[in-house]
Amino acid sequence: MILVTGGAGFIGANFVLDWVASEKSPVANLDKLSYAGNPGNLVSLKQDARHIFVKGDICDRTLVGQLLREHKPAAIVHFAAESHVDRSIHGPAEFVQTNVIGTFSLLEEARAYWSTLAAPEQDRFRFLHVSTDEVYGSLGRDDPAFTESTPYAPNSPYAASKAAADHLVRAYHHTYGLPTITTNCSNNYGPLQFPEKLIPLMIVNAAQGKPLPVYGDGLNVRDWLYVGDHCAAVRLALRRGRPGETYNIGGNSEKTNLEVVNAICAILDEFRPSSLIPHHSSLITYVKDRPGHDRRYAMNAGKMAAELGWQPAERFETGLRRTVEWYLDHMDWVENVTSGAYRNWLHLNYADRGQA
């Protein structure tokens, strides 16, 4: 058995579904079901005894300790995090609480549990912490991609909170010997992503004929990683990664935000032709840029390839088509997750930006 935190969110839910399908072993899934955590993401596992869902907060050390003693997991895979940069700008305290204090609490309980294991179980145990490329800061147009030795330079409250968590995980390995592994991934996309993020927001808005808000000049660059490839990489790092190591996971797909939005529009033109909107790209609206918006991220995943034999299987073009198809086929899911609170958030984040 493994313990997964944040397993009802976007990446966590995809990981849990993939794990049960591919590894066949049980998962204890701890998620506090904040706005982006959705039990509906796991409905296919409702009658599956291999999936044990527990509603709770990683900051609740009593609960975490009980779960570890009861289920005796061979590993913890830590996805639970506040993850949206814009939300961190409007409310950084929640990010510090979950991403820093929560990770600290989880590490403390993991260390206490690990210390009670017999030597063979201690050797096999892993604490895998899932992090982000944003901890490395921003790249210039011609700078080499981030590697595992790139100095940290976080520029948003979200990135700073994840950087702090990364440092804690590293310290618990070097100080206490806890067998930790950290993975830093690039921008994920795919099914089940909450519609505040770029790709699902643009798909949903375009499908509904709404404006497509693009920050600044739209030329900020991100490396895009299909969520299924990310889940496969995490499983591989858990199985074969070396304790104390960090592994970058990227999709080899650098795109400007404008390229991504135009690609979505072209797919919508094909899938949902409309006499009212012959070209969905006409919905693109440039809005005031995000404060401190990093210009470019790029990931060098050579270490994953050389040490663990991993490469992304999905090309961006095919992964994006699969993603657009999923959202168009699951607009009922979108309606269920985009509550009044979400609509209030959209108003908070975009209403005052206006057109650039």
Q: What is the pLDDT of residues 145-197, one digit of tens each?
A: 999 999 999 999 999 999 999 999 999 999 999 999 999 999 999 999 998 89
CA gap 237, 128 in Å, rounded: 8
Q: In angstroms, how far is the first alpha carbon of the chain from the final one?
A: 51
Instruction: For residue 92, give the nearest of 161, 167, 10, 163 by alpha carbon.
Output: 161
* Stretch 28-56: mean pLDDT: 92
What positions carry a catalytic annotation? 133-134, 158
Q: Are 1 and 25 in contact (CB under 8 A)?
A: yes
User: Which homologous superfamily is 2-193+224-254+294-316 in?
Assistant: NAD(P)-binding Rossmann-like Domain (3.40.50.720)
Distance CA 111, CA 134 (A): 27
As a three-state string, the secondary structure of 112-145 is HHHHCCCHHHHHHCEEEEEEEHHHHCCCCCCCCC
Residues 6+ apart with CB under 8 A from 259: none
* Residue-range domain boundaries for the chain: 2-193+224-254+294-316
pLDDT band of residue 350 (cuts 50, 70, 90) is: very low
The pLDDT value recorded for residue 238 is 98
Structure confidence at residue 342 as a pLDDT band (50, 70, 90): very low
Digit-coded pLDDT (tens) for 234-258? 999 999 999 999 999 999 999 999 9
**Statement: residue 79 has pLDDT above 80:** yes
